[in-house]
Amino acid sequence: MSDSSFLAAGQLASLKAKLKSGATRAPEPAGQGADAASYLPDLGVIFFSGLSGESDPYELLLDVARYVDGAGFSAVWTPERHFTDAGGAYPNPSVLGAALAMITENVRIRAGSVNLPLHNVLRVAEEWALVDNLSGGRVDLAVAPGWHARDFVLDPDAFEDRAQVLNRSREQLQDLWRGTPVERTDALGESHDILTFPRPVQPELPVWLTSSKSEGAWRFAGENGFNVLSALINFGPAELKKRIDIYREARAGAGLDPDLGVVSLMLHTYVGDDMDEAVRTVRPAMTEYLSSFVTQHATSGQSESRDKSATLQNLDKDRDDFLEMVFQRYVSSSSLIGDVKQARATLEGFREMGVDEVACLVDFGLSKDEVLASLARLSPLLQKGA
């Protein structure tokens, strides 16, 4: 997850009621003071690394999905990642979405994200309309331009202009979803107006734009009425608040209701019996995960990532100290790692910043039993006044 991969939420009932807008935000609760302070973001789960201790990553995915579907969580997000051990279990979120549609009844089934420049948009429309049918209309998509140069062996020509390709493909995807054909030329040179099948259940496709640090991406999302999926990558909560403000202001400037539009935030999550136990449990897995993340950025093909990763590689004996510093930053301000009390305080803080939903990243190296126990401790906070 980088600035380029994160270019692109709210209460489930609100999202269903306002589905045609494709950009919803949970309303503020009635009343102020203590009631408003206890109003928490919705909670979903997100998968990204495929690391699950000794567990099979698909067993973890399916068992977690079954649990959160019955516990009142809002969504299950699955990513698109290619050609890497950490994350390579998830090459196609539509395939995972079809599996999830068969074992769930309530949660939204979300791509987090579809890297549109890697694909023929006609195939994306077909696959996700199929998942929409299988799920009874529970599909949402976050879209992204892709970020790792190696991924673009799938379409090398799309890499340099991937932001423009993303926007063009996203417009075509939404047109196809609504029932507007797109023009294509066949192998004999004949032009056709193509409409994809099956037709989706939802008349409008809810779209998130995946973005982290880029202020321009947040502004673009606001101006165009998209939701936003983000993560605290190379910036902290204060910078997140600034970007949420940019997003709301951009919506207002475009004549859209600034209080609509969903901001979903990914946070590494483990809720333990107490704070010390939580930190002890996640430290080995989280440190290994962060080390792997740095290595992937070193080969991403982006100059900023290469420079930062080279600097880290040159630290040699200080590398462990650096990773410990990053770990402490996540624990202190950028994750849901702690006990229930800490988790509630963290969620309240992010809600005050304007975060509508937290997507709990759970597959960074813990066992299935640890993940499920953590979610069970977290689930009482789905009751907003808990």
175-204 burial, b for 16+ CB within 10 Å, e for fewer?
ebbeeeebeeeeeeeeeeeeebeeebebee
Residue 321 lies in a domain: no
Place of tokens 């949420």: 244
Comparing 55 with 138, the larger pLDDT belongs to: 138
Residue 309 lies in a domain: no
The number of domains in the chain is 1
Structural domain containing residue 201: 12-284+337-382
- In this predicted structure, what is the pLDDT of residue 314? 54
Helix (H) or strand (E) holding 268: strand 263-271
- In this predicted structure, what is the pLDDT of residue 287? 87
- In this predicted structure, what is the pLDDT of residue 23? 39
224: left (phi over 0), alpha (psi -120 to 50) or beta: alpha
Residue 35 lies in a domain: yes
Query: Which pair of tokens denotes residue 128?
Result: 């996700």
Q: Does residue 259 have a pLDDT over 80?
A: yes
- In this predicted structure, what is the pLDDT of residue 386? 56
- In this predicted structure, what is the pLDDT of residue 298? 52
Local confidence band at 39 (pLDDT 50, 70, 90 cut-offs): confident
The reply to whether the predicted model has a pTM over 0.75 is yes
Residue 7 lies in a domain: no
Q: Does residue 204 have a pLDDT over 60?
A: yes
Residue 328 lies in a domain: no
What SS3 string covers 198-243?
CCCCCCCCCEEEECCCCHHHHHHHHHCCCEEEEECCCCCHHHHHHH
Residue 368 lies in a domain: yes
Residue 292 lies in a domain: no
CB neighbours of residue 82 within 10 Å: 18
Comparing 296 with 156, the larger pLDDT belongs to: 156
Q: Does residue 315 have a pLDDT over 80?
A: no
CB contact at 8 A, 285 and 363: no
Q: What share of the chain is helix, strand, coil (3-state, %, to 5)?
A: 50, 15, 35
- In this predicted structure, what is the pLDDT of residue 2? 39
**Which of the residue ranges 184-193, 233-242, 300-309 would you say has the lowest mean pLDDT?**
300-309
Q: Does residue 297 have a pLDDT over 80?
A: no
Residue 268 lies in a domain: yes
257: domain CATH number is 3.20.20.30
Give 210-256 pLDDT, tens digit per residue: 998 899 999 999 999 999 999 998 889 999 999 999 999 999 999 99
